[in-house]
Amino acid sequence: MTTALYPGSFDPITNGHLDIATRAAKLFEKVVIGVYDIPAKHLLFTTEERVGMAKQAVANLGNVEVMPYNGLTVSFAREIGAQTLVRGLRVGADFEREFEMALMNKELSPDCELVCLMSNLKYQFLSSSLLKEVANLGGAIDKFVPKAVAEALKKKVLG
């Protein structure tokens, strides 16, 4: 069985993330969305909340599951039997960062491959950070995230 790991902080999961997960689900027999437990950036949602929102968002994708993890991504990939990492690319800066990570991951785990999927044009600008900023300022976010995520985000930032 070909398993792919789609890692990230998913704080929160967006329609852009879902687009990548859905497309990856067509390419691989199994896709695991790995929700990184403690990234080096400030998080709005707890790991449990991020995992819960991601599970709800991909419930219709039968070959996609969501799991939290910590430590090296390639170690988690090895643990779950994933041979491939999946990442989404939006802009040139994404490529530079992903290229650096891919080279390091290849050194750490030579058997693990990277597949980058180009973001759909309608999500090129979308990031969780920008989404949180818009929500924080009272902007409309409903078309950028699943309904449950929009509700959770509004509740979190608007109290």
- Cβ(37)–Cβ(47) under 8 Å? yes
Q: Is the pLDDT of residue 25 over 80?
A: yes
High-pLDDT (> 70) share of the chain, %: 99
Q: What is the CATH number of domain 3-125?
A: 3.40.50.620
pTM of the model: 0.94
Determine contact, residues 80/67, Cβ cutoff 8 Å: yes
Q: Which residues of 44-54 are buried (b: 16+ CB within 10 A; e: fewer)?
A: bbebebbbbbb
Q: Any idea which residues carry the catalytic annotation?
A: 17, 41, 90, 128
The pLDDT of residue 119 is 93
Summarize pLDDT for 86-116 with one digit per residue, the tens: 999 987 778 888 899 999 999 999 999 999 9
pLDDT tens digits for 52-70?
A: 999 999 999 999 999 999 9
C-alpha span between 113 and 130 (Å, rounded) = 29
